[in-house]
Amino acid sequence: MLLSVIENPTRRRILEALVREPHYPLQLSKELGLSQQGIMKHLRMLEELDLVRSFLEDSDQGGPSRRRYFPTTGFTMVVDIGPGLFNTEVATRPFEDGSERAEGDGRKLLDLRKDLGDIDQELVRIKERRAELIAEKERILEEAGRAVESSFMDYRSRKIVYEYILHPQISAKELARGLGLRDDTVERLISMLEEESDAK
C-alpha cells in the first residue's frame, strides 16, 4: 500500500510540502503547477490511507472557511533484494503535533542546523554498517542456497530447509504453520539437519 503511494511523484511532492507545514489545496496547486482537482484526488487517497488529515480553518480575510491538510503518519520503508534475499520492512510512527512542547523551548536556528547535521552523519554511519551486514547476509544465503540444493532433491524439502535457515528466530512448529504443512514433516527435515550438524 505504501509503495503504491510513494511510487507516484506527485504524491511524494505533496507529502514533502505537507511535512514542512500544513497547506491548502490551492497552495499545493500553485506550488506543484497542477490543477486543484488533480491535487484533491491525491489528497483524498492520502486521507483514506490515514497519511494526512484535514481541518477547516476560518479565512483571515472574511471569506469562506478553507480546508487545510497536514501529515499524520511518518514511515520508514526498507526493501532488500539480492542473491537469495528478498525482504521488506515498514516502520510507521505518528507525527507529533508539537502541542506538548514548552513555549520557551526554542533554540537558535544554527544550533538546530548543527544538531541535524550530527544526526545525518550518524544515519550515514548506520547506513554504511547496514550495507556491510546485508552484503555478509547475501554471501551466507548464497552459500546456504548451494548447500540446500546439493543436499535435498525435492522442491518442497529445499523450500522448508531454506526457509528454516532464512528465519533463525522461528521454531519448526511456527515454520510448519507459516508454510501450511504438517508439523512432523517439517520436524523430520529439521532433525535430519541437526543430526548432520552433530555428526560433523
Asked if residue 190 has pLDDT above 70, the reply is yes
What local confidence, expressed as pLDDT, does residue 59 receive? 73
Each domain of the chain, given as residue ranges in start order, spans 2-72, 132-199
**Considering the chain, what is the average pLDDT of its residues?**
87
pLDDT digits (tens, 9 = 90+) for 81-123: 988 888 888 888 877 654 444 454 678 999 999 999 999 999 9
Q: How many Å apart are CA 44 and CA 131, to the nearest integer?
A: 37
Beta bridge partners, 67, equal 56
CB atoms within 10 A of CB 170: 14
Q: How many Å apart are CA 165 and CA 152, to the nearest integer?
A: 14
What local confidence, expressed as pLDDT, does residue 97 receive? 55
Phi, psi for residue 190 in degrees, rounded to 5:
-65, -40
CB 89 within 8 A of CB 77: yes
Percentage of the chain surpassing pLDDT 90?
40
Average pLDDT over residues 55-59: 84
Beta bridge partners, 77, equal 90
* Fold held by 2-72: Arc Repressor Mutant, subunit A (1.10.10)
CB 161 within 8 A of CB 152: yes
